[in-house]
Structure formats: structure tokens, C-alpha cells
Structure 1
Amino acid sequence: MSTKEYVKNIIRDKNIASITPTSKKGVQEICGRMNLDNRVVIVEYGPATGVFTNYLLERITHDSLIIAIELNENFVQYLNENITDERLIVHHGSAEEVEEITRKYADGKADYVLSGIPFSFLTPELRDKVVKNTSLVLKEKGKFLPYQTFYQKDEHLKKYLEKHFANVHDQYFFRNLPPMRIYEASK
């Protein structure tokens, strides 16, 4: 997708949080929190043009699966036209439907859920629902790995993570434009 097309999507879609994709260093930092040596099921919320998706497809095993949940129709079309790997399923829908979606394509459970969706743009009720449903689809040792622009207040995401997960850690990552706040939540 050209920069021009990406910017057109930003103008039309209020749910896009960043004008630039995550940096290579940012992708490595977040994906480094996953063990990709064995078969995994990864759910990705808001893959956009597939920066994380492509990185993960180069590293996961041949029997692993990525379920990319994307709300923006243009990004869904782009992903379907540009990534033909059988280990990727692109689902046009909302992250709040993660339980139904993972049951449709996998056994209803995921090892990791990765999220770039802007939680600050969601209503408090929707934030809670997405985080709660995410906690329900994760396997016992699974991780939820959301990343947000660095200026996020705890009320946007962290307090919801702490409500539904036993372990929540966050850190700021400045080698990205804009800088990010990376969360890691587990049961």
C-alpha cells in the first residue's frame, strides 16, 4: 500500500492510531516476548498493512496460525491481496468478537494476542469487553501484548488489564515514531 493510500485510510478511518507503521525495532521488541519455536496460534488485532504479520510469518513454524482481525475493509483487502501464506487468516471484524473468531478458525484458544488498536478511542465499555474477551481466549501461559502511543493514560488500558489479568507489566519504547508504551499481560 502506498503512503498516499495509507494516509487516505487514516483520513477516512477514525480508528487508526498512527500515521506510520511500527518501526522494525518496535516490532522486534514486541515479538521478542513470544516463544515461536513451537506451534502457536497468534491473534492480531488491527494488523493494518501487516508489519507485524509479515515479521511473524517469517518466524513461526509451518504448522502455526495467525488470525488477523481487522475492522478497516481497505486493510482487509490489502492483506488478502498481498499476503498469500496459508498460515494467515484475515478476518474482517472487531476485536470484541475474538471468542467467536478463534472458535471459528482454531480451537478457541490462542497463545498470544497482539494488539495495535487504539484503546483510547474506544468507549470504557468496549475497552473492558475487548480486554475481558482477550483474557478468555488465551491459553494458561498465554500473553496479551498490546502496544499504544506512549502518552496513553492508565485509564485507557492499564486499569482494564489489571482487572482481567494477574500479571501486567508496561514499558516505554522510544525507538519508534511515535514512541510506544508496550504492555505485557498474562493470567
Structure 2
Amino acid sequence: MKSFTFLFQYFLKPRTVGAILPSSSKLAEKMMDCIDFQTAKCILEYGPGTGVFTDKMLEKRNEHTVVVLIEYNKEFCKILNDKFKDKKNVMIINGSAEDIDSYVNQYNLPRVDYIVSGLPFASLPENVSHTILLKTKKLLGDSGKFITFQYTQFKKGLISQYFRKIDIKWEYRNIPPAYVFCCSNA
């Protein structure tokens, strides 16, 4: 049912959904490899969709780690609310990653250690991508990490304008195969 919902939402809003199927658990696992779950106090996720990365994150996290999900799509937000409503220290916001600084202030979130992103930078308007990446860089400072995936390395140049170090791993067990970018300024 989630795959059908995902496909339907893609056809309704291809610029904001960006894929026809949810990410694979293999891609989710590779995304989580960049996170030190023992020390993470706050992890944000942009565009969690149906929660594939979130599932892995919650499986591995310390129970005191705050996880904040920011999902623009209302249908995906409903799925996330149903799926994670009983999880401790999980907050779901129906909104845009462009407003991340407002959410951090509004909800008095602790220092952000990691930001995991499922956003389709290849299909987002360039000004939106720049705004999100600039605010992400400011939130993470020199000690945090930004973890995203893309289907090509085409947007590496854009992301490297905000992060000095980008480690790239390829995950072929995803449809389509994807690149994981683990980005930092350390």
C-alpha cells in the first residue's frame, strides 16, 4: 500500500516527491553508516516520505535522541503520524525544509548533530536548494553532518558550495541505484 501511495504522490507532485518508489532498506542502512548513534542528541530528517530512513534511524538511535521529521507532503505526513505516533522523542512537522531555522527556534531543539535528507535536489528549484543548504550548513556548524542521497553525482557541485568534505558511497541495491553523500565542514 505504501508503494502505491508513493507512486500516486509522485504523479501528483513529481518536483517534491522525486521518486516513484520508496528507498530500499539497503540504501537506508548506507545512509545510517554516517551517524554516530551513541553521541547523537538531535537528528533531523528532511523529506522522510513513508519513513524508510526513519525506521532504520529509530532502530539504531539512543532512546534519548530527539528525531525531528520534516515532511512537506500531507499524505506522507499522515502515514508518518500513524506509524510513529507512539515513539518517544519523535516530532513530525508538516512543512518545508526551507523553514528549518524557524522550527528549531519554535520547538527549542537542542544542537543538531545530523541532518538526513531524502529531498530531490535535482528537481527542486535552484533557489530553494540554496536556501535549504545554507540553513543546513548554519545549523550543523563545523561539528555536524549532512547526509543525503542522489541518483547521480550531478548535484555534488551544488552541495560542495556548502560543505568542504563530501564522502560518496554507491548503493546499487536500490531502484534506481543511488549515491550517498556524507557531508561535513570538519
**How does the TM-score come out when normalised to structure 2?**
0.91
Equivalents in 1 of 2:40, 2:116: separation in Å?
A: 16
Identity %, equivalent residues:
27
Corresponding residue for residue 175 of structure 1? 173
Corresponding residue for residue 82 of structure 1? 83
Alpha-carbon offset, residue 169 of structure 1: 2.5
Corresponding residue for residue 117 of structure 2? 115
Equivalents in 2 of 1:38, 1:108: separation in Å?
A: 13
Corresponding residue for residue 73 of structure 2? 72
Rate the CA distance shift 1:108–1:98 in 2: closer, same or farther, 3 A.
farther
Equivalents in 1 of 2:110, 2:128: separation in Å?
A: 21
Per the alignment, in what secondary structure is the counterpart of residue 63 of structure 2? Answer: coil
Match status 1:10 vs 2:28 = no
The aligned amino acid for 2:13 is: D
Rate the CA distance shift 1:99–1:161 in 2: closer, same or farther, 3 A.
same
- For structure 2, list consecutive stretches of 5 or more residues without a partner in the other structure: none
Q: Which one of 117, 124, 137 corresponds to residue 135 of structure 1? A: 137
Corresponding residue for residue 46 of structure 2? 45
Per the alignment, in what secondary structure is the counterpart of residue 35 of structure 1? Answer: coil
Equivalents in 2 of 1:108, 1:60: separation in Å?
A: 16
Corresponding residue for residue 158 of structure 2? 160
Q: Per residue, is there more strand in 1 or in 2?
A: 1
* Equivalent residues of 2:2, 2:50 under 8 A apart: no
The aligned amino acid for 1:73 is: K
Alpha-carbon offset, residue 48 of structure 1: 0.6
Corresponding residue for residue 147 of structure 1? 149
Alpha-carbon offset, residue 19 of structure 1: 1.6
Per the alignment, in what secondary structure is the counterpart of residue 110 of structure 1? Answer: coil
Alpha-carbon offset, residue 46 of structure 1: 0.5
Alpha-carbon offset, residue 163 of structure 1: 1.5
Let me know the Cα RMSD of the aligned residues. Answer: 1.6
Equivalents in 1 of 2:164, 2:40: separation in Å?
A: 25
Rate the CA distance shift 1:5–1:164 in 2: closer, same or farther, 3 A.
closer
Equivalents in 2 of 1:97, 1:2: separation in Å?
A: 27
Equivalents in 2 of 1:19, 1:186: separation in Å?
A: 29
Mean alpha-carbon deviation: is it higher for 136-145 or for 28-37?
A: 136-145
Tell me how many residue pairs correspond in the alignment. Answer: 183
Equivalents in 2 of 1:185, 1:51: separation in Å?
A: 21
- For structure 1, list consecutive stretches of 5 or more residues without a partner in the other structure: none
